[in-house]
Structure 1
């Protein structure tokens, strides 16, 4: 059965938007990713109708569009909530409480990973690193940051979202719905004026190394990694090295328990030379 089409007024509006998106690229098929965001902004997920729409505009098969839509996790293939709540469970966030936050939110909301609450407000999922490790553990709602979360603060957050109470991200612009976010990702102007002047930034932990490298804050680049005197043979050979245990080594010095064969040159193959000539061929 062919996919149904959009209502006439919706189709006319999406056609105009699609032409604007495609015009940005030298080749039409390069516009597939933003077009998928465009159709997602209409229905909240990528439907069969949306896939056919993209295929028709780009001269692709529906199989080709489906292959891309099913590859990237940013495209939803089933109805999702107004707010995509993602809990980072990568290493640092996990050990600082991300796993506990995710477990408690599943119980609190009564959904599993990728599940949506009955009222259609929230979809919960665990997500990979958001490059905000110095704010761990991090929760994201429609790609806006909520930093330094705890199980209790995360539960208050989702309760506020379900109740329709105002919610402000830790940094960046105000929160918008998933459909609104998808339209921005399609490349259309962000309706939030504050989004132009506000945004995420690196936190103190990420910036500490930069300050030290610049000699700020009473430190210097020489103190970023302290030497470990006496631990390695080369410590005396590179007394001024900021990380003397990382100075170049010969194989035997690098691993005293497994030294190189006597007389082996650095970089040489330590295996015995393979014989050549008629005698060697006869022995094979």
Structure 2
């Protein structure tokens, strides 16, 4: 996957510095800093990681290593309507894989990607804690239970 260059505005850099300062620019607070930065920007592009590394006085490689190690961090911008499909055991045995395939087919993207118009992105989760409703899909904060491949079109129509 190629890297898309992101031009950080002065306000963006100032916000990152403020986030780092809120944790006293302590290298041991890297994960907390990254969480706040991702909440603000929606993802953690290389340019954000570079500023964080400078402010915490650690290597960019260390920041990148943490971002790529933990699954809750992402370097890819999420869509306006992020779709997450639970693939935990209960959802998997009730057909989650077919639901994933149908979202991929209809949106013409793979898991971890965002549609070219920035409207949708797809990710898989291990468990959302609603096993009785398996398979479960979330779009943003909205939860859909007992989703079948046939129900994918109806879910997408709600956001078009």
TM value normalised by structure 2: 0.81
Corresponding residue of 1:117: 115
State the 1:5 CA deviation. Answer: 7.0
**Structure 1 stretches of 5 or more lacking a match?**
164-284
Q: Which residue of 1 aligns with 2:157?
A: 159
From the superposition, tell whether residues 18 and 142 of structure 1 become closer, same or farther in structure 2 (CA, over 3 Å).
farther
Indicate the residue corresponding to 1:44 in structure 2. 42
Give the aligned partner of residue 91 of structure 2: 93
State the alpha-carbon separation in 1 of the partners of residues 118 and 6 from structure 2.
23
2:27 to 29, 32, 35: 29
For residues 4 and 131 of structure 1, do their structure 2 counterparts lie closer, same or farther at Cα, with a shift above 3 Å needed?
A: closer
CA offsets per residue over residues 58-97 of structure 1, 9 Å max, x none? Answer: 2211111110001112222233312321111232112223
Name the structure 2 match of 1:136. Answer: 134
Name the CA distance, whole Å, in 2 between partners of 1:139 and 1:12.
36
What SS class does the counterpart of residue 95 from structure 2 fall into? helix
Does the CA-based 8 Å contact 2:134-2:145 persist in structure 1?
Answer: yes
Please tell me whether the aligned partners of residues 40 and 50 of structure 1 are also in contact (alpha carbons under 8 angstroms).
Answer: no
2:58 counterpart residue number: 60
Higher gyration radius (CA)? 1
1:143 to partner: Cα distance: 5.9
Say which SS state the counterpart of residue 140 (structure 1) adopts.
Answer: strand
Greater relative contact order (Cα 8 A, min sep 6): structure 1 or 2?
2
- The TM-score with structure 1 as length reference comes to 0.49
Structure with the bigger percentage of strand: 2
CA contact (8 A) 1:36 1:50 kept: no
CA positional deviation for 1:4 = 7.8
* Corresponding residue of 1:16: 18
Deviations 1:69-128 (A, max 9, x none): 011122222333123211112321122231221121111111122222121111112322
| 1:104/1:37 CA distance change after superposition, 3 Å | same
- Provide the aligned C-alpha RMSD in A: 2.5
**Residue 144 of structure 1, CA deviation:** 5.1
Q: C-alpha distance in 2, partners of 1:111/1:51?
A: 26
Where does the alignment leave 5 or more consecutive residues of structure 2 unmatched?
A: none
SS at match of 2:53: helix
Q: 1:146 aligns with which of 119, 130, 144?
A: 144
